Amino acid sequence: MKKTFIFCILLVTYVYGALPNVASIDVIEPDIQGAFYYPKFSPDGTRLLMTKEQFVGLWEFDLRTGQTLLISNAPGAGYEPVYSKDRDRIYYLQDTFEKGRRYRSLMEYHRNTKGSQVLIEKERLLTHPLQVTDHGVITRTQSKVLLVGKDTKSENPQTRFVHTFENRLTLYENGKERELYPSGRGNYVWASLSPTGDKILYHKAGEGTFICDLQENILAEFGYANAPVWSPNGQWIAYMKDYDDGHFITESEIWISSVDGKESAPLTNTKDIIEMYPQWSPDSKALTFHDLSGHIYIMKLHVTE
Amino acid sequence: MKKFTFFFIIGSLFSTSLLFSQNLSDFRIYINPGHGGHDSDDRFISATGFWESEGNLAKGLHLKRLLENMGATVDISRTTNNTSDDLPLSTISALANNFQADFFESVHSNGFDGKLNYTLLLYRGWDLGVTAVNYGMTVTGALYPLSGEMAPIMANEIYRAHRTTNKHVRGDWSFYDWTDAQGNKMGLGVLRGLTMPGNLSEGSFHDYVPESWRLKNDNYCLEEAWAIAHSFVLLYDQPDFPFRNLSGIVRDPLETVSYYSIAGTGDDKKPINNLVASLYQNDILVDVYEGDNENNGFYLFDSLAPGTYTLIVEAEHYYPDTQDIVIENTFFNHKDFHLISSKPPTVLATTPLPLEEAHPAWDPIILCFSHEMDTASVRENLILEPEEALSFSWDSALRVLTLTPLDDTLAFQTSYTLTIHGNALGNRGKNLDGNGDGIGGDAFTFTFITSAEDITPPALSSEYMYPPISSENIETDVVINLVFSEILADENIDTSHFKLQNYTEDRFEEVDIIHDIIKKRSIVSIVPKTELSPSSIYRTTVHQGGLSDLFGNTMYDRTRAYRFNTGSGYESKQTLDNFQTNFSKWQSPNYSGSTTGIINASIEQSTEKVLPLFNSTHSMKLMYEFDVSQSAHLIREYQTPQAATFNNTYILQVYIYGEGNNISFRFCVDDDIYGNTGHEVSPWVKVDWYGWRLVSWNISQDGTGEWLGDGSVDGTLRMDSFQFTWHDDANPSGVLYLDELRLVTKCETSLEPPLAEIPHTLTLHGNYPNPFNPVTTIAFSIPETQPVTLSIYTINGTLIYRSTTGILPAGYHELMWNGKNQAGIDVSSGEYIYRIETPTHIASGKMLFIK
């Protein structure tokens, strides 16, 4: 179930060229207790994946019925899970710790069987699912890029994506990896390919968020913009402006920018709520995000067609 | 000094890169040197010039090297210390997650009130063994169990390495009070976004000044890195290091530091700079450590083979010291040294100061020596001219000599010369170095003049009186302070001598009388037991008869009265902080990067001086010492987490207990706290008073000072800090107290001045003070709106002064006369007659002018 949440969040209205306006903000009310974080829409926009403190466990919330489904209780399960394209399967990580070492497995949950199976077992280094294809998901171990699914496991898939394995910005293209340095040497995080596949959104630690082309030419700058994500229609990016005092996160708001970086505006402007980690709905007409207290929000946008 | 053959040997000093037997090659560790960039969320200790970001980075880089030498794969969130290195906590978490670390270690140092120095290890979750719910999850101890395993290991290792006073292991949910609106414990931001176990280590306290100096030593940071690296060896059950560390602190036992030190730590003695520590084994030189000049006296030899060593420590102007050291099984070994200065003894300070011209003849003479003295030889060689019988008294260290006149006082208004000849001995038989040139055998001599006999009665200092004479709009929650020129005898300081009259209602208020002594002055406070009436006339009355100084000089027996008017009353009062609970939210001034130009500043919760209103039991005590050689001075005393929010319709108030030191004070608020637009400050107020006084900032009416904000206070506000600065006319060091920080609103202010009842006829209320010199105020009430003429006559009836006012409204009024005649010439002492004349009435009275 969801409840219109009108008393705390200030709806931000503004007049910026092509940027969407906020139409409404709702907070969801899962039917199980607890705080949830890092929500992510399903491909049809009817469900959310979400996790708990420090990515422990994975749950699916049905926006239509208000019911919550436990997918996994495992540590790490909530770290960057993805749906299959047909949304019947959910790919997620499962961490185990043995003698101080972390081992990661890639799991596949199937809606029909209501159970999970291991796709890759106990790798010392294994990225979260980096891309979803028709046949499964792509992940990377220490030395290999793999396409894995229920009936599939192959190396060097023919596709294109970017990742930041070990904080290096890397373009994978048809079996080959190429490190990119559009902002010079340093640590890169939060990188993703544009929906059109020809641009890269990335964040360089200490320098900010940028968009570059595949030849490393910087096309747009966004300044202080953390955890940026493309809108599926490719027109905007959403991100958070979070602040801290070195120990505690003290404030954060959700922002939106046009992809050329020329227009930007806050989508939240709240006095007591620390909103973080926005994710787009598949139709680019809504965002979901969490606050530091573990509430999950759905923000609907007025989009000028 | 022993002679040694200076050959280095390799066997006793391991090459750390070659001889690590630990194998961490399958482990991935992410290091986060906390803070960064010398900016607002960094921690700066102005007393030492220490930045936490620098200490954390030094530890982090050393730790990275040590762990990599053991084979671990290590990444670090920063390797430099620029503004761009101050990464958001969300970015740090993302980098550690991308790196796929097995463990995350955030390296910090701690700060509180400058008086603590323990080791603290934090992890995400509850204290070990505690089961409770947070964010809807039932958790026992650490959220990641490995964090809970590591924390006590690392706490113990750092505690042993740095010899801090204690060690604590806490879950961040248990340790921090900060909760969200649902009551969830927020905990450390850097740990909550991780996909792996992690700790945050607060190795020691950087605002404890001795530790702050040590943290400026790169090898001291290396030792902490060794402690953390050793923790991973123990956690991952690896073979222990085959080598050992040896460290220590070298101090001068005869010189005491000026800053705070924890008892029993040895930190009260001055560390020695630029030391040279030479380590020998079997008379062969193994290694040499050269100390820095950062006032820590620290040395470190790491990677030593177990065995017996000889360590010689030397420094310029000190006798060298040699100690044998056996290094066995423990990894951290310590040996501290005390080096004795080889300089001849000198006289460091005297009371009175040389050439002082009014040393109270009844006060003792005090001499402070640089070294322990031979008391007999000092006595033999000390001469006071003219000769006086003196008693000699030494402190336990035999460095402070107190000479007390046996006849109660020295001669009054007499020039004395005190000489100690160079034959006086100290510091292992060295002759006194009287002129301080480094060569002993010369005399120390100084002269001073004693004061006149005190035959003057104490006087009331009208310049420090509060409320000031004839002042308007005084707060109704007021402490009345009367400041005297010297110390009063306690007798007769009571409610029969000090009164407060509500003149409007013609009654005396119930009051308490408090007698304080500040800087050899008496401050008598009249404290109303209830809030004063708004818009009323009050008179402070002092019956001087019976008031005397400590020498029996009695004040002239007369009664003096001083008027003030109260302003409007309070519509609301909201206490923000009375400093009785939760004091820990107030941070050490050194914690703020804005604090600058100080030698030292600290706060403590105090019961020494407490506001005598509102049943207060505690106050905040600020101790400060500004560095006058600096060009900018600011102490920012701030709180975190911050308090309630408000807006500019309020008046922000706090009571300040001043000691006449003239430093300036202002409030600072966060303006538009959610828009991140910055800080706004009130105008500076000079704390030039004695005793408690209420300081107010009517936010919408009083304007702002200049600091970080735009000068417009118009957003949602939150108390940020008290701020203080130094100017040329202020004492560079001192203390003050603050109490009852509050927000108030006032009732609508009456446009009319406070009125006594309108009389039916012209009424005189006398003049005050009386006797006077040279100004007196004549009070009267008139029955209707009309002009008034004041005339002054000699006692023989000669008119010497006349002045006519404009038209005055009916009611109470005052006119002042400055003791000058119509030509502006001072009149002579004597009795005078004043006459108040209106078109319908005349009244007159007598007054006495005493020069």
Q: Which of these ranges, A124-128, A151-155, B445-449, has the smallest mean pLDDT?
A: A151-155
Q: Please tell me the class of the B462-569 domain.
A: mainly beta
Measured distance CA(A11)–CA(A273) in Å, rounded: 13
Please state, rounded to an integer, the average pLDDT across all residues of chain B. 90
Task: State which amino acid sits at residue A43.
Answer: P
B794-807: per-residue pLDDT in tens?
Answer: 988 889 998 888 77
At residue B322, the pLDDT reads 97
Amino acid at B410: L
Kindly list the residues from chain B whose CB atom is less than 8 angstroms away from the CB atom of residue A242.
88-90
Q: How many contacts (CB atoms, under 8 Å) link A and B?
A: 146
Please write the tens of the pLDDT for every residue from B393-429.
Answer: 999 989 999 999 998 889 999 999 999 999 999 978 9
Q: Is B672 on the interface with A (CB under 8 A)?
A: no
> Residue B178 and residue A56: Cβ atoms within 8 Å?
no
Beta carbons of A35 and B137 less than 8 Å apart: yes
Residue span(s) of chain B under CATH 2.60.40.4070 come to 763-849
As a whole number, mean pLDDT of residues B378-390 equals 96
Q: What percent of chain A has pLDDT over 90?
A: 84
What residue of A is the nearest CA neighbor of B106? A247
- Which pLDDT band, with edges at 50, 70 and 90, does B70 fall under? very high
- A-chain residues within 8 Å CB-CB of B102? 97, 100-102
The two most distant CA atoms of chain A are separated, in Å, by: 56
Chain A residues 154-173 with a CB less than 8 Å from chain B: 164-167
**Are the Cβ atoms of B91 and A203 closer than 8 angstroms?**
yes
CA torsion sign for B669, B672, B673, B677 is negative
Which residue among A75, A167, A226 places its CB closest to the CB of B88?
A226
Per-residue model confidence (pLDDT) at position B643: 65
Residues of chain B neighbouring A184 (CB-CB closer than 8 A): none
Q: pLDDT tens, B623-659?
A: 999 988 888 899 999 887 666 788 899 999 999 999 9
A102: pLDDT strictly greater than 50: yes
DSSP string, B297-322: -EEEEEEEPSEEEEEEEE-TTB--EE
CA distance B73 to B59: 17
Say if residue B679's pLDDT is above 50.
yes
- Span B239-288, pLDDT tens digits: 988 899 999 999 999 888 989 999 889 999 999 999 999 999 999 999 99
Structure tokens at B674: 């959610």
B585 touches chain A (CB under 8 A): no
Yes or no: domain B347-449 corresponds to CATH 3.40.50.920: no
Burial class (CB in 10 A: 0-12, 13-18, 19+), A260: exposed
Which of A51, A68, A73, A102 to probe by mutation at the B interface, max B CB count within 10 Å?
A102
- β-strand partners of B685: B665
- Which whole number is the average pLDDT over B208-220? 97
CB of B554 closer than 8 Å to CB of B512: no
Q: How many CA atoms lie within 13 A of A213 on its CB side?
A: 3
Please name the member of A125, A206, A293 whose beta carbon is closest to the beta carbon of B85. Answer: A206
Residue B218 pLDDT > 80, yes or no?
Answer: yes
Residues B88 and B189: their CA atoms lie apart, in Å, by: 10
- In this predicted structure, what is the pLDDT of residue A13? 46
3-class DSSP assignment, residue B235: helix
**Measured between CB atoms, does A114 come within 8 Å of chain B?**
no
Q: What is the pLDDT of residue B384?
A: 97
Question: B279 pairs with which residues across the strands?
Answer: B287, B311
Minimal Cβ distance to B235: which of A33, A100, A270: A100
Percent of chain B with pLDDT over 90: 65
B110-114 average pLDDT score: 88
Q: Around A70, how many Cα atoms within 13 Å sit in the side-chain half-sphere?
A: 9
> With 90 as the cut, is the pLDDT of residue B711 above it?
no
Least confident of B459-468, B716-725, B781-790: B781-790
Reply yes or no on whether the pLDDT at B544 is more than 80. yes
pLDDT at B594: 80
pLDDT of residue A214: 97
Please, which pLDDT band fits residue B673 given cuts at 50, 70 and 90? low
Write out chain A residues lying below 8 Å of B143, CB-based: 53-54, 56
Selecting from B26, B42, B90 the residue whose C-beta is nearest the C-beta of A227 gives B90
Q: In the numeric block, which tokens belong to residue B408?
A: 């109660």
Q: Residue B767 and residue B834: Cα distance in Å, rounded?
A: 9
B79 touches chain A (CB under 8 A): no
* Superfamily of B572-746 according to CATH: Galactose-binding lectin (2.60.120.430)
Residue B1 has pLDDT above 70, yes or no: no
For domain B28-235, the CATH superfamily is Zn-dependent exopeptidases (3.40.630.40)
pLDDT band, residue B749 (cuts 50/70/90): low
Q: Does B329 touch chain A (CB under 8 A)?
A: no
* pLDDT at residue B12 tops 70: no
Residue A7's pLDDT is: 35
**pLDDT at A263 > cutoff 80:** yes
- Report CB contact under 8 Å: B26, A166: no
B16: confidence class by pLDDT, cuts 50, 70, 90: very low
Cα distance between residue A170 and residue B700, in whole Å: 55
Q: Per the CB < 8 Å rule, is A247 touching B189?
A: yes
Confidence of residue A132 (pLDDT cuts 50, 70, 90): very high
B244-338 topology per CATH: Immunoglobulin-like (2.60.40)
User: Could B676 and A243 be called an inter-chain contact, meaning their C-beta atoms sit closer than 8 Å?
Assistant: yes
pTM for this model (two decimals):
0.67
pLDDT tens digits, one per residue of A2-53: 444 433 344 444 444 579 999 999 999 999 888 999 999 999 999 999 999 8
pLDDT higher than threshold 80 for residue B198:
yes
Say yes or no: A177 contacts chain B, CB-CB below 8 A.
no
Largest CA distance in chain B: 112
* pLDDT at residue B288, as a whole number: 97
CATH, domain range B763-849: 2.60.40.4070
Q: If residue B232 lies in a helix (H) or strand (E), which one and from where to where?
A: helix B218-235
Which residue spans of chain B are classified as CATH 2.60.40.10? 244-338
Is B188's pLDDT higher than 50? Answer: yes
- Pairing state between β B332-334 and B244-256: parallel
Distance of alpha carbon B705 from alpha carbon B711, whole angstroms:
7
Query: Looking at the complex, does the CB of residue A40 fall below 8 Å from at least one CB of chain B?
Result: no
Report, as an integer, the average pLDDT of A63-72.
Answer: 96
Per-residue pLDDT, B757 = 55
Q: Please, what are the domains in chain A? A: 2-71+134-302 (2.130.10.10)
Query: In this complex, is the C-beta atom of A185 within 8 Å of any C-beta atom belonging to chain B?
Result: no
> Cβ B98–A55 below 8 Å, yes or no?
no
Query: Residue B758's pLDDT is what?
Result: 64
**Range from A287-291, B755-759, B821-825 that averages highest in pLDDT:** A287-291
Looking only at the bridges linking them, the beta strands covering B269-271 and B337-338 are unpaired
More confident position, B528 or B341: B528
CA A15 vs CA A20, A234, A267, A302, A304: distances in Å? 9, 21, 12, 12, 12
Question: Mean per-residue pLDDT for B823-838?
Answer: 89
**pLDDT for res B20:** 64
Out of A104, A244, A292, the one facing B180 most closely (by C-beta) is A292
**Structural tokens at position B284:** 């062969």
